[in-house]
Amino acid sequence: MRSLLVSFSRILFSFLNPHGSLKLSPASKVHQLTLVKQRSSSTELPMPTDLVNYWQGVFEAQGVPEARASSEYIVSYVLEAKTFQSLRADHLSKPVTVQQLFRVQELSAQRLNRMPIQYIIGEWDFLDLTLMMRPPVFIPRPETELLVALVIEEFQRKMKPRGAEHRDLAAAEASQYPMILEVGCGSGAISLSLLKKFPKSHIVAVDKEEAAVSLTRDNAIRLRLQDRITILQHDILANHSFLLHHNPVDIIVSNPPYIFKDDIASLAPEILSYEDPTALDGGEDGMQIITGILSNTPHFLKLYGDVFLEVDPRHPEMVAEWLRIHPDLHLCVIATHKDFCGKPRFLHLQKG
């Protein structure tokens, strides 16, 4: 047991001279020494809570944002739980093993390099799904959960039988319905959530980047949804001829890159250094891909089909304006929905 303690302190002190260019402030050194001192009177490895507190201190000293949450997620992950909250009381009263200690240190080193937690642990939750995460594929944001909820709500509302006007609904119900196109699928969060919710739906998911296509495919297989999704590497702004092989869809859904070009530089290091910039950059006014999608609705979208988009809060007005000068698309904004912070975030358009 004594040798374990020695190894523990060795781990901590080896950390003071990492192979990276990381410099630890004096504050964190004090933290480390405090932890070792606490433990030197006993021959125990630290308890999970002590470990979380320790790394929280290290992250805070290094200016890593969300120090507590980061620390909790890393330790929980190593202890095979999703959140620290879900760790049961009996697990919390047992000290960690040496392997776990090492593993937490490994992962925390990555966090000190500002890698996003989702990439560090290689997974994240989106609604009811647990998805694999791999850099540089875009990490789903909480707002997008609301986008999916909106699509589901709208579709369920439509599905309520209302008599003659839904004659073709009955016909469509027999086959694949709804047909959905997702532009910029990333990790597959939106597509796979919708597939799960609508057992008869079929989705064509496209993304410009091979890495995203590959990750979406892996997630689809892991969730056993690969039979109802077609994943294509395709740039929506480029030639779209091969997409015409598919029938027009009922719904187009997208969380397209919508950040204004000038805002990119001020993004956090977590995003700038690790996530694919093409998944974020929407051009001069953040509208480039949005307008690209809307321009393609004559080819891809059925009459009375819906378009659901997540956008920057400044976009709803800009989109309305843009639609006014493109009347040939026959698109109109049915509704603008707010996110949890009260910002206009989601657009629901219809072709008609």
Partner 1 sequence: MSLFRNTLRVTGWLCTTFTQPIRIVPSFVLDVGTAADRTSRRPCSASFLPRLGDAFQQQPLQSFLSRLEEAGPRLGGGGGSRLRLHELLLLVQRMRAREREVRELDGLMQTGESLEVDDESEDLRKLAEDEKVSCQEEIIKLKEQILSLLIPPNEADDSDLILELTAGVGGQEAMLFTAEMFTMYEQYAAYRNWNFEILEYFPSELGGLRRAAASIGGCEAYKNLKYEGGVHRVQRVPKTEKQGRIHTSTMTVAILPQPSEINLIINPKDLRIETKRASGAGGQHVNTTDSAVRITHIPTGVVSECQQERSQLRNREKALQILRAKMYSIKLEEETSRRENTRKIQIGSKGRSEKIRTYNFPQDRITDHRIGRSLHGIDLFMYGEELLHEMIQCLKECADYESLIESLSENAD
What residues between 143 and 202 interact with partner 1 by CB under 8 A? 143, 145-146, 149
b (16+ CB within 10 A) / e for 162-192:
eeeeeeeeeebeeebbbbbbbbbbbbbbbbb
Select 179 or 289, whichever has its Cβ closest to partner 1. 289
Helix, strand or coil, per DSSP, at residue 144: helix
Question: With CB under 8 A as the contact rule, which of the stretches 85-93, 100-108, 206-214, 321-329 interacts with partner 1?
Answer: 85-93
C-beta of 179: minimal distance to partner 1 in Å? 25
Q: According to the binding rule CB under 8 A, does residue 280 interact with partner 1? A: yes
Does position 47 interact with partner 1 (CB under 8 A)? The reply is: yes
Quick check: 38 and 19 in contact, CB under 8 A? no
Buried b (16+ CB within 10 A) or exposed e, 30-49: ebbeebeeebeeeeebbebe
Choose between 256 and 305: whose C-beta lies nearer to partner 1.
Answer: 256
Closer residue to partner 1, CB minimum distance, 90 or 210: 90
Residue 12 or 87: the one with the smaller Cβ distance to partner 1 is 87
Least separation in angstroms between residue 176's CB and partner 1 is 27
Angstrom distance (rounded) from CA 185 to CA 336: 22
Q: Which is nearer to partner 1, 196 or 330 (CB)?
A: 196
- In the complex, least distance from residue 4 CB atom to partner 1, rounded to whole angstroms: 21
CB contact set of 80 (below 8 Å; sequence gap of 6+): none
Which stretch in 54-62, 66-74, 199-207, 214-222 sits in contact with partner 1 by CB under 8 A? Answer: 66-74
Contact positions with partner 1 (CB under 8 A) in 235-254: none
- Read off the amino acid at residue 104: V
Binding of residue 345 to partner 1 (CB under 8 A): yes
Q: Are 255 and 190 in contact (CB under 8 A)?
A: yes
Q: How far is the CB of 130 from partner 1 (least distance, A)?
A: 8
Q: Residue 99, SS3?
A: helix
Q: Is the peptide bond before 277 cis (omega within 30 degrees of 0)?
A: no
DSSP code of residue 281: B
Decide: 272 and 203 in contact? Cβ < 8 Å. Answer: no
SS3 150: helix
Q: Which stretch binds partner 1 (CB under 8 A): 54-62, 97-105, 134-142, 159-167?
A: 134-142
Binder among 12, 75, 117, 190 for partner 1 (CB under 8 A)? 117
CB of 90 or CB of 328, closer to partner 1: 90
Q: Which stretch binds partner 1 (CB under 8 A): 96-104, 158-166, 172-180, 256-264?
A: 256-264
Nearest to 304 by CA among 147, 144, 139, 169: 169
Chain centroid to CA 118: 8
Q: List the one residue from 310, 319, 336, 349 that touches partner 1 (CB under 8 A).
A: 310
Which residues contact partner 1 by CB under 8 A? 47, 49, 66, 69-70, 73, 82-83, 85-90, 92-93, 116-118, 124-128, 138-139, 141-143, 145-146, 149, 255, 257-259, 263, 267-268, 270-271, 275, 279-280, 310, 312-313, 339-341, 343, 345
